[in-house]
Chain A
Amino acid sequence: MSLAFSERARAEIDRLLARYPTRGAATLPVLRVAEREFGGIDDDVMVLVADTLDLSPAQVRGVFSFYTHLRRPGWGKYVLQVCATLSCALRGCEGLADHLEARLGIRAGQTTPDRRFTLLKVECLARCGESPVLQVNDDMYVNVTPAKADAILESLP
């Protein structure tokens, strides 16, 4: 396995490490660096992060897989995360997810054949007061109706 961080990434990781009490505590921000560096987090990247932080690969995978905001191999250009936790569920996220599934022709968890969209149902995105919530890559949209979702998707480059 010949994967390695670039000079620049390593410098950034060193700066990050200085801000945490243990190396392991920096797992999330370092995964972020790795995501930018390699375009996504696959097994090889997790092993590299583990070696960098003196963790086991399983520990890194545990943190990585707990979250849905780090790109996984095979995901599309746009990752649509529909919050499916309680507040959003009470305010109709199920309808939103159904609408997106129908519009994109895929099920939650899948990627469109043109690799443009990946649709996910995820846990609470922490904007419960303005549910339903849709996150597109790193941008958060609140009070999302199916019509609003259509508009968002159409506005994407």
Chain B
Amino acid sequence: MPRLTINGQEVEVPQGTLLIEACARVTEKPPHFCYHPGLRPDGNCRMCMVKIEGMRGVSISCTLPAAEGMVVSTEHPEVLAARRGVMEFLLIHHPLDCPVCDKAGECILQDHSYDHGRGASRYIEPKIVRPKRDLGPRIALWPERCIRCSRCTRFLDEVTGTSELAFFERGDRTDLDIFPGRPIDNPLSLNIVDICPVGALISKDFLFRARVWNLRKKASVCAACSRGCNVVLESYEGKLTRLVPRPNPHVNHHWMCDHGRLSHAYVHDPRRPRQIVKREDARSFNVALPEALEAIRAGLEAVRAAHGAAAVGGLVTAWLTNEELHLAGRLLRDVLGARRLVALAAPPGEAYVAKSGFRIAADRNPNRAGLEAVLGLVPDDEAVRALAADIETGAIRALLVLGGMPAPAYPEELVAVASRLELLVVQDLVPSALLDRAHIVLPAAAAPEKHGSFINDDGRVQRLEPLLVPPVPGGDLGILGALLRALGDRPPGGGGAVGVFADLAARNERFQGLTFQELGDLGRPRRGAEDRPRPPHAAGE
């Protein structure tokens, strides 16, 4: 554990800590462009310079390990002068088109030129002009803005191992580009847009959609597969506009996949069910929640009176949070004594493991582990078919379908017998043949509208924070709580995510010792799951 002095302050850091990180412990991280904590240091931009006593000139802090006895200054006059010089060179060919640049507001070239720049250019020669060009289906390049920091090429070399980008030519003619006909189209490609310190690499999906300072943000998790990458959800004018990864050494490090970023079109799809609908004699009405609840209550009562308590069935999906699953279990098992409670899964997607070890799970059900931990349920097509058979024979007369999913996956067998039901309640995110046959339609909340927790495929319990307002105020948790109340029960812990989680933790040993608050931003392993940060270059060596 080397001890060193930085700006007059003593600090002890773990062996091997880079000087730039050591500096960050006592003061602001030295300004930098090419250094990124998720990539191997390259030391090419020369912005992160510090003065080390006894060493000639200034030294870059991003490649140098902190050493015993070092005396370091981040604000030495030589350092300040050197930074000004670096800034001046970087801006020589820069177009300074911040007003039309997507990165403005989160661009470190912009930030550093406020802090370390000269304000005016002394360069009078012609600037290099290079128009924007396409690099692949999701990314475009504004070459003039590139400062050649190589973060993007290192990402593609180290993390994906695909190396689509390289620098061509050299000196002032250096140009970042793809090989002709070999576009960037790997599953993690959009991470290079995030890590580009300037607005050179641009996501076509986000292009010109919002100025970043107008975005509302919430820390949450991605719901597009069972990995549960930590993300920041960002919205503009009430619309989910961008997802960016949030570092979590236990799950996704600094990255997330393109699928996760781009698979939320359903949230704002105009066909998405947003109204509570009641259907009677082939006519449908929009109704308020109390009227729907009363219809459900009356329908359930009629079925139970005529055919016994066990004539009720339930179907849930892994888009319900642990808290919602807990209430759903209470409703269907404890209150209604349902004959069958089954889980339906979305079909698997493609699994992917990057060179670095970053994983996309084939399992596209974000809270599959929660289904198992909370309700002991494993999605099972056989069980869903058995449910359909029970409906066919009349053993089940009322069915509650809860949670929904972004693409309908109800099996034919179930849809075919739906019209035999005396009461069919369907809550979903998208239209479907089953939804069309429902007596009561309840809009489901999408993941970015949810407050609660999911468990990822490592057994990590992670929080979702609502960025958007769900179609039914209170979301799925609110609907389930109200349903319990309508049936004469009450949701535990007041019915909010925090209280319901506390009840879950008290009753279910897999959640023992956890509180919703203590899940924090990075989540906690559920009881019995392993808690092991993975090194960022696990498989990349």
Contact = CB atoms under 8 A, between A and B. Distances in A.
A58 interface: yes
A56 B168 contact: no
Given A65-B168, A66-B170, A123-B170, A46 B179 contact: yes
B178 interface: yes
Contacts of A61: 166, 168, 179
A62 interface: yes
A143 B179 CA distance: 39
B180 interface: yes
A47 B170 CA distance: 21
B167 A56 contact: no
Contacts of B162: 56
Interface in B138-173: 162-171
Contacts of B170: 65-66, 123
A55 interface: yes
Contact of B182 (A58, A65, A123): A58
B467 to A, nearest CB: 37
A148 B264 CA distance: 69
Interface string A25-60: 000000000000000000100110000000111110
Contacts, number: 38
Interface size class of B (residues with CB under 8 A): 10 to 19
B163 A59 contact: yes
Contacts of A57: 179, 182
Contacts of B169: 65-66
A40 B295 CA distance: 80
Nearest to A66: B170
Nearest to B175: A65
Query: Which residue of A43, A47, A65 has the most chain B CB atoms within 10 A of its CB atom?
Result: A65
Nearest to B167: A62
A111 to B, nearest CB: 18
A109 to B, nearest CB: 11
Nearest to A57: B179
A123 B172 CA distance: 11
A73 to B, nearest CB: 13
A112 B239 CA distance: 59
Contact of A43 (B163, B177, B180): B180
Contacts of A62: 166-168
A56 B180 CA distance: 12
Interface string A133-157: 0000000000000000000000000
Nearest to B157: A59
Interface in A73-129: 123
A36 B170 CA distance: 24
A43 to B, nearest CB: 6
A62 B175 CA distance: 9
A43 B177 CA distance: 14
Nearest to B184: A58
B171 A123 contact: yes
Nearest to B164: A58
Contacts of B167: 62, 66
B406 to A, nearest CB: 34
A1 to B, nearest CB: 11
A113 B167 CA distance: 31
B171 A59 contact: no
A56 B164 contact: yes
Nearest to B173: A65
B171 A58 contact: no
B148 to A, nearest CB: 12
A42 to B, nearest CB: 11
Interface in B444-474: none
Contacts of B182: 56-58
B184 to A, nearest CB: 10
Interface string B165-200: 111111100000111101000000000000000000
A66 B148 CA distance: 14
A56 B171 contact: no
Contacts of A47: 179
Query: Which residue of B164, B166, B177 has the most chain A CB atoms within 10 A of its CB atom?
Result: B166
Interface string B58-92: 00000000000000000000000000000000000
Query: Which residue of A58, A59, A62 has the most chain B CB atoms within 10 A of its CB atom?
Result: A58
A140 B185 CA distance: 44
A31 B411 CA distance: 57
A123 B173 CA distance: 11
A154 B294 CA distance: 102
A137 to B, nearest CB: 21
Contacts of A56: 162-164, 166, 179, 182
12 contacts: A56-B162, A56-B164, A57-B179, A58-B163, A59-B163, A61-B168, A62-B168, A65-B168, A65-B169, A65-B170, A66-B170, A123-B170
The 8 closest A-B pairs by CB, nearest first: A62-B166, A56-B163, A57-B179, A58-B166, A58-B179, A65-B168, A66-B170, A65-B169
Given A57-B179, A65-B168, A66-B167, 6 more contacts: A56-B163, A58-B179, A58-B182, A62-B166, A65-B170, A123-B171
Interface of A: 43, 46-47, 55-59, 61-62, 65-66, 123
